[in-house]
A and B are shown apart, each in its own frame.
Chain A
């Protein structure tokens, strides 16, 4: 925690901008704006569910 505190505090002197601002960061992408409420919700749930099935399959394969 001390390591995180001391390193975290030095971001602005090193980078020159606050976190989330400046050349380093991309644009914000709000899935609702691209796919609508239903589309974005189904897409996110589908990705999470697919990963859920994948990790379960990995575990079953191990046995």
Chain B
């Protein structure tokens, strides 16, 4: 066996051709979050970064708007933006290497629903003071009461969103029966698709990620480089294992398949234990990542939960 064949069989196939078990994803995400907390901060800040990117769009349009979280720094020098870039890099690399990359089209109604769901997730994040990762996942691990409040809200929102999704699925199924009959008569011949070497593109994106991280390290911005790589690691685990907080809440009320929720709870339990050990021993400030708790956390969680279910993730 040649060296390249050995790596292909033992490393590539195991990492990118086989899907990772969901439980492995949950455990890895919990440990990555513990490590990132030790390094700098817990995983969070997805919505603050997205809000910052929205502000940049408004500023490009000539509107001067104050950022809702912290101060507005250029994306390449903002920790939360870099974490999100890492997440996108990691997910993209993983999808390309495993040949699962696909651009999917949706109907106009689907785009409107996606936009509305995203907007609701934005509103929910503001009410809570953080997104689902910061407000629920990392908050509970940090022993913040707000995390448990947001969980109640998320369950309520996912329940209502799930009801809507089931209603929509029945409606779609009724329509599908009719269009499929038409398609059988007038089905056009399928075009032969061009074969794209996605793993090669994935390798190219990995090199770009490595160069970007190296630039941060070589210019003394070690924290930025580290966070970029943490984000990428999170992205790879999310993509390979399909570990998804949204799915955990959604499936309880739609398919009634509760395995994703059980894995999510297990992941939070592992993280809570790890965070408490870190905080209790003074490795990180004890009061780090404690958010305001109140009715706003529950209402915000419900709006976020509803939005994430109708958006699909």
Contacts and interface: CB of A to CB of B under 8 A. Distances in A.
A and B from one complex: yes
A3 B272 contact: no
Contacts of A25: 129, 292, 294, 296
B295 to A, nearest CB: 7
Contacts of A10: 54, 65
A8 B126 contact: yes
Interface size, B (range): 35 or more
Nearest to A55: B258
B54 A31 contact: no
A47 B148 contact: yes
B258 A58 contact: yes
Interface residues of A, number: 41
Given A15-B126, A27-B293, A8 B148 contact: no
Interface in B206-263: 252, 256-258, 261-262
Contacts of B67: 9, 12, 18
Contacts of A9: 51, 54-55, 57-58, 65, 67-68
A56 B48 CA distance: 34
Contact of B122 (A7, A13, A15, A58): A7
Contacts of A56: 258, 262
B143 interface: yes
Nearest to A54: B258
Contact of B50 (A4, A44, A59): A4
Nearest to A28: B290
Contacts of A24: 127, 296
B286 interface: yes
B68 A3 contact: no
B256 A59 contact: yes
Contacts of A13: 65-66
Contacts of A40: 143, 276
B122 to A, nearest CB: 4
A11 B269 CA distance: 33
B117 interface: yes
B54 A26 contact: no
B22 interface: no
Contacts of A5: 50-51, 53-54, 57, 118, 122
A19 B131 CA distance: 11
Nearest to A37: B280
Q: Among the interface residues B57, B126, B272, B290, which one has the most CB atoms of the partner chain A within 10 A?
A: B126
B83 interface: no
B287 interface: yes
Contacts of A58: 252, 256, 258
B41 interface: no
Contact of A49 (B256, B269, B273, B296): B269
B95 interface: no
B145 interface: yes
Interface of A: 1-13, 15, 18-20, 24-32, 37, 40-41, 44-45, 47-49, 51-52, 55-56, 58-59, 62
9 contacts: A3-B114, A3-B116, A7-B122, A10-B54, A27-B292, A28-B146, A28-B293, A58-B252, A59-B258
Given A9-B65, A59-B258, 14 more contacts: A3-B117, A4-B122, A8-B51, A9-B54, A9-B58, A11-B68, A12-B68, A20-B129, A28-B291, A29-B145, A29-B146, A31-B144, A51-B265, A55-B261
Per CB-CB distance, the 6 closest pairs between chain A and chain B, nearest first, are A26-B294, A9-B54, A3-B118, A8-B51, A5-B54, A3-B115
